[in-house]
Structure 1
Amino acid sequence: MNAELRRRAYLDAMQVTCWLPRSLLPFAAPSRPELLALDQALAEPDTAAAATDVPVASIAVAVDVAERPVPGEPPRPQPERVARPQPVAAPPVAEVAEAVARETPKAPPPRFALQLLRAGSCLLLVELPTGEPFQSRDPGYVLLKDILRAGGLPDRPQQVGDGEPIRWPLLHRGSLDQGAEAARDYVQGVLMAELEQMGCDCLWLVGGAALRFAGEVEDDACWRELDIDGIGRALALPGLEALMEEPASKAELWRMLKRSMPRWVMGS
């Protein structure tokens, strides 16, 4: 991130929407003309107020005459003079932004790996348990083939694109925003691009990461159909490891497949 982006991030953190630098900033974007006009208007002296100002010498003479004692009168008590508090200089903007950044803990970016596959007229977004692409003898991949076969789909799903998983975070270093919201936008962008190119009758979301960053739901929203804005209908399924650890969930999986199977059988 260059100096201008960092500066704008500081101003956004302090909710500053309108500002003008006192001097030329290195690598800064050019100032907007309306802000320069406002700055010049503030810098011009107020001639009307200057014309009505009373000379300082006249004020001093008037105060001296008022304070002189009158002969024959007891001296009047002088009012106690209270020292006016001196204005405290505001800390620089950069220091305020750094203090806000230190006080607000930044959540670490989410970490996941998703494999995008195509089986017949269905598109599958499957969370990789190990973070690596499926191998032919992986227990999770064998279970996935069984599920596709039970759903009336080809049991050899094809990898989409170059076959590389969707990994997050994208960068291991740098100041680029890689939070949960950015991860969701990235995953949904990949899905929209694939759907725009080839389309599908139904999208399967398998695993917690697929549900959170593609379906915008939590892990407990399984066994139902989702309506995702910009993507369409999708099946919410638990991860392959959870299915292997809980054999009783296979009955719920079979009921869901029978309920949703006409969506891709009729489409084919």
Structure 2
Amino acid sequence: MITELRRRAYLNAMQVANWLPRVALPFAAPSRPELLEPLEAAPAPAAVAPVAAAVEAPPAVVEPTAPAVSERPKIEVPRPAARVEAKPQPVAGEEEAPAAPTKVAAVPPPRFSLQLLRAGNCVILAELSTGEPFAARDPAYLLLKDLLRAAGLPDSPQILGEPVRWPLLARGTMDQGPQAALEYVQGFLMARLEEVEDCKCLWLVGLPAIRFAGEADAQAYNRELQVEGLGAAWALPSLELLMDEPARKAPLWQAMQRVMRRWHASGAESLHE
């Protein structure tokens, strides 16, 4: 089973405009009934009308030529005027030139890889700087385990599915710009969060996760976000950035102490009961 966005990407790559499935597809958009209607043939008399008008046009043009011959002095006056009026026409063509550069404004598709994991009642969407899944000896993965341990969560997170890689296709005419990437990542998360029970907080680790899942930027580091359809989220710098700039760990720890109430609230309530 694949999502509707990925299915359309494959069809666009194969240059398939219209198609009908033999059975009902999961996560598929409803069929458009207008595609099932037969095409109406164009009326034949419509093509005859321009021909008839073209046949009647020559007599009207021939009639004014007779009085033009009788008025010889007037023939010399319109000729120079017509030549002068024909000169400004190339200027109008030059005004259309600035419209051509606007077609070149093409936004390149963003490139990123994200891994979805689960630790306790938190779900983590982390950036993969190398594009490959986490390995047991990977320094970034060891740092993630330290962060989970400091947050009071299990330090052996469960990997949920394959990494999300963008762009989806190396070739093709499908739109793979930033807006399409945002819609795809958010749709992917909504589908996976429905399968996860008791998710208290979504960790967005790295700028691509914050931008295409939380609709924010680097200014949101160490802050809590409310994302429509995804709920409460916490924005963190990437694991590579934390290793390159250790000074970022102090504000991260201060922010973690404020946010920990989200995933520890259920445990505290059970103890009081």
TM-score, length-scaled by structure 1:
0.67
Q: Distance in 2 between matches of 1:107 and 1:213?
A: 16
Partner of 2:7: none
Q: How does 1:83-122 map to 2 (within 5 A)?
A: 83=82, 85=86, 103-122=103-122
Q: Distance in 1 between matches of 2:78 and 2:261?
A: 92
Give the drift of 1:220.
3.2
Matched, 1:216 2:215: yes
* Larger CA Rg, structure 1 vs 2: 1
Give the drift of 1:106.
2.7
Partner of 1:267: 266
Count of aligned pairs: 222
Q: How does 1:22-171 map to 2 (within 5 A)?
A: 44=49, 59-60=64-65, 62-63=67-68, 67=71, 79-82=77-80, 83=82, 85=86, 103-161=103-161, 164-171=162-169
Q: Distance in 2 between matches of 1:56 and 1:190?
A: 68
Letter in 2 for 1:147: L
Partner of 2:247: 248
Letter in 1 for 2:220: A
Q: Distance in 2 between matches of 1:40 and 1:224?
A: 68
Q: Distance in 1 between matches of 2:157 and 2:74?
A: 102
- For structure 2, which runs of at least 5 residues remain unmatched after alignment? 1-12, 18-35, 91-95, 268-273
What's the CA shift string for 1:171-207, capped at 9, x where partnerless? 2233332222222111111101011222511100001
What's the CA shift string for 1:81-106, capped at 9, x where partnerless? 24464999xxxxxxx9xx95995143
Q: Is the 8 A contact 2:201 2:263 kept in 1?
A: yes
Q: Distance in 2 between matches of 1:260 and 1:78?
A: 90
Partner of 2:236: 237
Q: From the superposition, tell whether residues 40 and 158 of structure 1 become closer, same or farther in structure 2 (CA, over 3 Å).
A: farther
Q: From the superposition, tell whether residues 63 and 243 of structure 1 become closer, same or farther in structure 2 (CA, over 3 Å).
A: closer
Structure with a larger share of its residues in helix: 2
- For structure 1, which runs of at least 5 residues remain unmatched after alignment? 6-28, 69-74, 89-95
Give the drift of 1:251.
1.7
Percent identity over paired residues: 50
TM-score, length-scaled by structure 2:
0.66
Output the aligned Cα RMSD: 4.0
